[in-house]
Structure formats: C-alpha cells, structure tokens
C-alpha cells in the first residue's frame, strides 16, 4: 500500500502539471472502485480550474473550482501524468485532461482506491475528522506519544501505526523509526519513558523526510506521479530483512508478527 511518503511524492509530482490548469475532459472507464466514482464527476469538473493539490494523511485533496476532490490510492493505486496520445493501459480507470494536454491518469489493478468529493472542509469530512496530527508538523512530538501511551499495554509498533495517534506512519516506516530510536517494537507502549519517545518522534521525522526526498519506497506497485520509482527501499535497515545481518551490529535480524503485521527488528540494537 502506498504510505505517506509515496502519497506526498505523488502530490509533488502531479502539482506542477495541474495547478492553475483548466479541466477540458474527464474520462471514466471504470466506476466500480472501493466506492463508486461520483455520477456527476464529469459534468462538475469540465471547465473548472484546478487549485494546489494537497495531502492529509494518505489522502490527496485536489481543489477544482469551488469543490475539492478526495483521492485515495488504496492498495495498488497510482496517479501518473500522461499526454494526449498515450494509450491507456489495463486498469487505467480515470483520466482528467487539462488544457495543455496533460492527463492525470488513475491506475488501480485492485480497485481498492477511490475518488470522491470532500464533504465540507478537510477537518470536517468524516473520513478525516478523527485523524491525528501529521508526523512532520509541530503538533507531533515525543510528549504526545508519551501522553497517549500511558496505561497502554499495546506493543509500541501498532501504537505508532494508529492514525488517531499520528497519521501516515505505516508498517515500513514504523519499523525503520523504531530501529533508529533503538526501541524493541514488542515493548508495551505504556512502559516507554518520555525521553525515549522524544527520540522516537525525531526518528519518525527523520525516516519520513528521507523517504520523501528519495521518492518513496518501491516494493511492488508504487511509482511517482511522473512514472518514476522510489529509491528509499535501498536504504531500509530492517523492514523485509528478517534473518539478514543488522547493518549496525552485524547480529541477525528477527522477524515477528505484531498487530497482524510482519515486523523485523534487531534484538541487540533495540531494547
């Protein structure tokens, strides 16, 4: 599934091709996504100007005229920039064609993503209203993690992946941040000290910022908005490396399951 860095990379990739442009045509080849493509999408978008694309957690927000599109990429979705004459591929479900010939093209083999209208302001839409702060914003820090974790027996890794605690820290980046912070992902969240949560919040910022800079993590399906793969996977310390040597101490990395998700950690470096 595309995580926060992949979605942010997509936003940055598509923004220069869309912002300030007028939508000339909308082509919907398949309406049966996770939720059906709105019946009025074509009529409501044609002739309208596109504002600056935004992001909230793993959702993209694209202002068009007086309304805003809410786009989620699901498990295997991607938004790419194509040009007039570029033949659509299988699973290319939606095209937004702007006035200079650029096409925002939505590709989704599994159809778990969706495009819909935002209901009210970003903070008021029921799909977004209960989300925690953005991990790169001033509202997220170690003190928040410490406060929300008190009395929690839940392991720290699924705690960190809870979108009510902080948005967008998915499986890959939670594993990598816990490694950088030296914290065993199995430890109960309520038994981690304030100082260690301060380090963990900084590790989250460090890992996500690095991933965004390098274009996200390509594992299977993800490419950026301009069709380029991400390269952060080349720097993963623990994710997907169970049984391999730790890059820091040389010990064997161990794989476990936490919250029904695979996790890898170093028993020596993470305590």
Nearest alpha-carbon partner for 271 in 157, 158, 187, 149 = 187
Give catalytic status of residue 58 as yes or no: yes
Say whether 72 counts as a known binding-site residue: no
52 is an active site residue: no
Please identify which of the residues 34, 187, 205, 261 carries the catalytic annotation. Answer: 261
Q: Between vectors from CA 7 to CA 233 and to CA 203, what angle results, nearest 5°?
A: 55
What are the DSSP E strand ranges found in 121-227?
none
**Residues near 141 by beta carbon (within 8 Å), at least 6 away in sequence:** 198, 201
C-beta atoms surrounding 89 within 10 Å: 11
Determine the Cα–Cα distance for residues 173 and 211; give it in Å rounded to an integer.
9
2 a catalytic residue: yes
| CA gyration radius, the chain | 20
The verdict on whether residue 150 carries a ligand-binding annotation is no
Does 6 qualify as catalytic in the annotation? no
Q: Which two tokens stand for residue 113?
A: 């993503």
- Which is catalytic among the residues 3, 8, 134, 176? 3
Q: How far is the C-alpha of 182 from the C-alpha of 196, rounded, in Å?
A: 9
107 is in an annotated binding site: no
Of the listed 56, 58, 80, 105, which one is catalytic? 58
Annotated binding site for DNA: 91, 110, 152
The annotation places the binding site at 91, 110, 152
Catalytic residues: 2-3, 58, 261
């Amino acid at each position: 599934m595309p995580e926060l860095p992949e979605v942010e990379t997509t936003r940055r990739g598509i923004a220069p091709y869309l912002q300030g442009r007028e939508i000339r045509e909308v082509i919907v080849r398949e309406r049966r996504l996770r939720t059906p493509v709105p019946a009025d999408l074509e009529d409501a978008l044609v002739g309208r100007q596109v504002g600056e694309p935004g992001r909230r957690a793993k959702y993209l927000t694209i202002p068009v005229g007086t309304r805003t599109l809410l786009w989620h990429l699901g498990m295997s979705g991607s938004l790419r920039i194509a040009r007039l004459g570029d033949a659509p591929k299988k699973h290319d479900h939606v095209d937004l064609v702007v006035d200079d010939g650029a096409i925002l093209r939505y590709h989704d083999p599994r159809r778990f993503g969706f495009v819909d209208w935002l209901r009210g302001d970003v903070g008021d839409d029921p799909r977004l209203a209960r989300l925690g702060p953005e991990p790169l914003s001033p509202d997220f820090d170690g003190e928040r993690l410490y406060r929300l974790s008190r009395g929690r027996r839940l392991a720290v890794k699924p705690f960190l992946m809870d979108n009510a605690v902080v948005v967008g820290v998915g499986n890959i980046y939670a594993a990598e941040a816990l490694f950088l912070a030296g914290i065993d992902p199995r430890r109960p969240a309520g038994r981690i000290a304030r100082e260690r949560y301060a380090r963990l919040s900084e590790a989250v910022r460090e890992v996500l910022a690095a991933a965004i800079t390098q274009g996200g993590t390509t594992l299977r399906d993800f490419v950026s908005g301009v069709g380029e793969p991400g390269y952060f996977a080349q720097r993963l310390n623990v994710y997907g490396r169970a049984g391999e040597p730790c890059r820091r101490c040389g010990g064997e990395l161990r794989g476990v399951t936490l919250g029904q998700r695979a996790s890898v950690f170093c028993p020596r470096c993470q305590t």
